[in-house]
Amino acid sequence: MTSDALAGSSPPDSPGRRALAGLYRRGRLQLALLLAAPTGWFVVLYLGSLALLLVSAFWYLDPTTSSIVRSFTLQNFGTLLSDPVYRTIALRTVFIAALVTVTDMAIAFPMAWYLARAAAPRTRSVLFMLVLLPLWSSYLVRVYAWRVILSPGGLLDWLFGLVGLPNLSPGFSDVSMWIVFSYLWLPYMILPIYAGLERIPQSYFEASADLGARGWPTFRRIALPLALPALAAGSIFTFSLTLGDYITPQLVSNTQFIGNVIYASQGVSNNVPFAAAFAVVPVLIMAAYLLVARRLGAFDAL
Amino acid sequence: MQRHRVLSLLPAIAVLAAACSGSGSTAPSNAAPSLGGGSGPASAEPSVAAAAPTIGPGEGQLNIIIWAGYAEDGSNVPEYDWVHPFEQQTGCKVNAKPADTSDEMVTLMRQGGGTVYDGVSASGDATLRLIGDGDVAAIDPTIFPDFANVAPFLQNAPHYVVDGKHYGVPHGWGGNSLMYRTDVVTPAPTSWNVVFDPTASQPYQGKITDYDSPIYIADAALYLKAHDTSLGITDPYELNQAQFDAAVNLLKQQHPWVGDYWSLYSKEIDNFTSKAVVVGTTWPYQVNTLVGSGVPVAQVVPSEGMTGWADTWMMSSHAAHPNCMLMWMGWMLTPHTQAEVAESFGESPANPKACDLLNTGVGPYALQDFCTAYHVNDQSYYGTIAFWKTPIANCGDSRGTTCIDYSEWTSKWTEIRG
Amino acid sequence: MGRWLLRIATAAGFLFLYIPIGVIALYAFNAQRVQAWPIAQYSTQWFTAALNNESVRESFALSIQVGLAATAVALILGTLAAFAVQRYRFFGRETVSFALVLPIALPGIVTGMALNSTINATGIGFTTWTIVIGHATFCIVVVYNNVIARLRRSSRTIEEASMDLGADTWQTFRHITFPIIRTALLAGGLLAFALSFDEIIVTTFTAGTQETLPIWIFSHLRQTNQRPIVNVVAVFLILLSAAPVYLASRLSGSTGVAGSRS
Interchain proximity C34–B63, CB inside 8 Å: no
pLDDT at site A184: 95
**Cβ proximity of B281 and B178 under 8 Å:** yes
Name, in order, each residue with C-beta under 8 angstroms of C145's C-beta and a sequence gap of 6 or more. Answer: A302, C188, C256, C258, C259, C260
How do residues B202-214 score in pLDDT, each as one tens digit? Answer: 999 999 999 999 9
User: Global pTM?
Assistant: 0.86
Q: Is the pLDDT of residue B5 over 70?
A: no
Averaged pLDDT score across all residues of chain C: 85
Cα distances (Å, whole numbers) of residue A38 to A33, C79, C82, C99: 10, 9, 10, 11
Question: If you average pLDDT over residues A203-218, what whole number do you get?
Answer: 78
Checking if the pLDDT of C252 tops 70, the result is no
- Whether the per-residue pLDDT at A26 is higher than 80: the answer is no
What region does A164 belong to: left with phi over 0, alpha with psi -120 to 50, or beta? Answer: left
**CA B69 to CA B73: how far, in whole Å?**
9
Mean pLDDT for the stretch of residues A231-252: 91
Taking phi over 0 as left and psi of -120 to 50 as alpha, with beta for the rest, B294 belongs to left
Q: Which of A79, A49, A50 is nearest to A278 (CA)?
A: A79
**Bigger pLDDT: A187 or B48?**
A187
For residue B83, the model assigns a pLDDT of 96
Q: For B345-363, how does the pLDDT look when each residue is reduced to its tens digit (9 = 90+)?
A: 999 999 999 999 999 889 9
Residue of C nearest to A6 (CA): C167
Sign of the dihedral defined by the CA atoms of residues B140, B143, B144, B149, in that order: positive
pLDDT of amino acid A140: 92
Q: How does the average pLDDT of chain A come out, rounded? A: 84
Q: What digits encode the pLDDT tens for the residues A134-185?
A: 988 889 999 999 988 998 888 898 888 889 888 888 888 899 999 999 999 9
Among C36, C221, C225, beta carbon nearest to B76: C225
More confident residue, A220 or C11: C11
Confidence of residue B242 (pLDDT cuts 50, 70, 90): very high
**How many CB pairs below 8 Å do chains B and C form together?**
68
Radius of gyration of chain A (CA): 26
Alpha-carbon torsion, ordered A253, A258, A259, A264, to 10 deg: 90
- C-chain CB neighbours of B116 within 8 Å are 125-126, 208-209
- Of the residues B104, B108, B110, B260, the best mutation for testing chain A's interface (the one with the most A CB atoms within 10 Å of its CB) is B260
- B/e letters for A248-272, b = 16+ CB within 10 Å, e = fewer, are bbbbbbbbbbbbbbbbbbbbbbbbb
Given a cut of 70, whether residue B46 has pLDDT beyond it is yes
Amino acid identity, position A69:
V
Of the ranges A19-33, B308-322, C157-171, which one carries the lowest mean pLDDT score? A19-33
Inter-chain CB proximity C120 and B266 less than 8 Å: no
Nearest 5°: the CA angle A99, A103, A107 is 170
Q: Which residues of B touch A82 (CB under 8 A)?
A: none
* A144 contacts C107? CB cut-off 8 A: no
Mean predicted confidence (pLDDT) in C27-39: 83
How far apart are alpha carbons C260 and C142 in whole angstroms?
Answer: 8
How many beta carbons lie within 10 A of that of residue C91, not counting itself? Answer: 6
Q: What is the pLDDT of residues C198-225, one digit of tens each?
A: 999 999 999 988 999 999 998 888 777 7
- Chains that contact A by 3+ CB pairs under 8 Å? B, C
For chain B, what percentages of helix, strand and coil (3-state, to nearest 5) are there? 45, 15, 40
What pLDDT does residue C158 have? 82
Set of chain C residues whose Cβ sits within 8 Å of the Cβ of A31: 84, 87-88, 90
Q: Where are the beta strands (DSSP E) in A60-219?
A: 60-62, 67-69
Burial code (b: 16+ CB inside 10 Å, e: under 16) for B163-199 equals eebbbbbbbbbbbbbbbbbeebbeeebebbbbbbbee
A5 contacts: CB under 8 Å, gap ≥ 6: C171, C175
User: Chain B contact for A167, CB < 8 A?
Assistant: no
pLDDT number for residue B20:
36
Q: Is the pLDDT of residue C16 over 70?
A: yes
For chain C, which chains pass the contact test of at least 3 CB pairs under 8 Å?
A, B
Closest CB to A152: pick one of B274, B414, B415. B274
> Is A63–B407 a contact, with Cβ atoms under 8 angstroms apart?
yes
The single-letter DSSP state of residue B66 is: E
Distance in Å, alpha carbon of C32 to nearest chain A alpha carbon = 14
Instruction: Give the count of alpha carbons within 13 A of A261, CB side only.
Output: 32
Per-residue pLDDT tens over the stretch B284-296: 999 998 998 889 9
Dist CA C42 CA C22 (whole Å): 15
Q: What is the largest CA-CA distance in chain C?
A: 74
Q: Which residues of C touch A103 (CB under 8 A)?
A: none
What are C104-133's pLDDT values in tens digits? 889 999 999 999 989 988 888 899 999 999
The whole-chain average pLDDT of chain B stands at 86
**Taking CA A154 as the corner, what is the angle to CA B295 and CA A172, rounded to the nearest 5 degrees?**
100
Residue A172, chain B, CB below 8 Å: the answer is yes
Residue A235: predicted pLDDT: 92
CA C84, CA C148: separation in Å to the nearest integer?
A: 9
Q: Over range C36-63, report the average pLDDT.
A: 87
| Nearest by CB: C125 against B76, B112, B266 | B112
Q: State residue A103's pLDDT score.
A: 96
Q: Which secondary structure element, helix H or strand E, spans residue A21, and what is its range?
A: helix A15-25
**Weakest mean pLDDT among B46-60, B232-246, B254-268:** B46-60
Q: What is the mean pLDDT of residues B23-27?
A: 35
Looking at residues A125-139, what average pLDDT do you find? 88
Q: Determine whether the interchain pair B112/C227 forms a contact, defined as Cβ–Cβ distance below 8 Å.
A: no
Q: How far apart are CA B265 and CA B209, in angstroms?
A: 12
Nearest to C224 among B95, B113, B265 (CB): B265
Question: Residue B314: beta bridge partners?
Answer: B120
- Tell me whether A58 touches chain C (CB under 8 Å): no
Given pLDDT bands bounded at 50, 70 and 90, which one contains residue A21?
low
- Kindly calculate the radius of gyration of chain B based on its CA atoms and give it in whole angstroms: 21
Contacts of B174 (CB under 8 A, 6+ apart): B283, B284, B308, B309, B345, B346, B347, B348, B374, B385
What is the predicted pLDDT for the residue at A289?
92
| Mean local confidence (pLDDT), A49-60 | 91
State which amino acid sits at residue B238.
Answer: E
Lowest mean pLDDT among B228-237, B310-319, C92-101, C183-192: C92-101
Q: Does the distance separating the beta carbons of A268 and B410 come in below 8 Å? A: yes
Which range (B49-63, B130-144, B300-314, C15-29) has the least confidence? B49-63
- For the beta carbon of residue B356, count every other beta carbon within 10 angstroms: 15
Question: Average pLDDT in the C155-163 region?
Answer: 81
Nearest CA in chain B to A149: B274
Which residues on adjacent β-strands are paired with residue B177? B282
Could you tell me if C218 lies within 8 Å of chain B, comparing CB atoms?
no
